[in-house]
Amino acid sequence: MTETGDTTQPTLAMNEKFFLVVDSATVGQHVAMLAVFSPPDGADADFPVRLLERLRKIRTFAAPFNYVLDRPALRKIAPSMSALPDDQIDLDRHLRYHRLPAPGGQRELDDLIAELHSPRLDFGRPLWEYHLIDGLANGRFATYVKFHHAVMDGVGWNQRFTQSVTLEPEDQELRPIWTIGPNAARPAPLAPAPMKDVMAVRKEMKRNAKRAVPEIAAPYLAPKTVLNRRLTRRRRATTVAYPLDRIRGIAKTAGVTVNDVLVSSVAGGLRRYLEERGELPSKSLIASAPYNIRLPGDDATLNAYSTILITMFTDIAHPVERLKAVARSSGFAKRDIRSRTPEVAVMYSPLIGGTWTLNQMTGLAGRTAPPFSTIVSCIPGPDSDLYLGGAHLDAMFPIGPLYHGSGLIVAALTISGTFGIGFHCCPDTVPGIESIARYTAAALDDLESTLAVGAGT
Distance of alpha carbon 220 from alpha carbon 351, whole angstroms: 12
- Total residues belonging to the chain: 457
As beta bridge partners, residue 133 has 98, 142
Give the residues of the chain that fall short of pLDDT 50: 1-4, 457
Q: Look at residue 2 in the predicted model and tell me its pLDDT.
A: 41
Q: Look at residue 453 in the predicted model and tell me its pLDDT.
A: 74
The DSSP 8-state label assigned to residue 197 in this structure reads: H
Q: Residue 441's CB: how many other CB atoms inside 10 A? A: 16
Distance of alpha carbon 136 from alpha carbon 204, whole angstroms: 51
Contact (Cβ atoms closer than 8 angstroms) between residue 248 and residue 407: no
One-letter amino acid for residue 429 of the chain: T
Q: Look at residue 7 in the predicted model and tell me its pLDDT.
A: 57
Q: Look at residue 23 in the predicted model and tell me its pLDDT.
A: 96
Q: Look at residue 454 in the predicted model and tell me its pLDDT.
A: 64
pTM: 0.95
Q: Look at residue 14 in the predicted model and tell me its pLDDT.
A: 87
Residue 29 DSSP SS3: coil
319-338 and 244-254 helices cross at what angle (nearest 10)? Answer: 90
Q: Look at residue 405 in the predicted model and tell me its pLDDT.
A: 97
Phi, psi of 36 (to 5 degrees): -110, 135
CA-based max dimension of the chain? 67
As beta bridge partners, residue 396 has 35
Q: Look at residue 267 in the predicted model and tell me its pLDDT.
A: 98
List strands edge to edge, sheet with 374-380. Answer: 236-243, 418-425, 408-415, 374-380, 286-292, 305-311
As beta bridge partners, residue 128 has 147
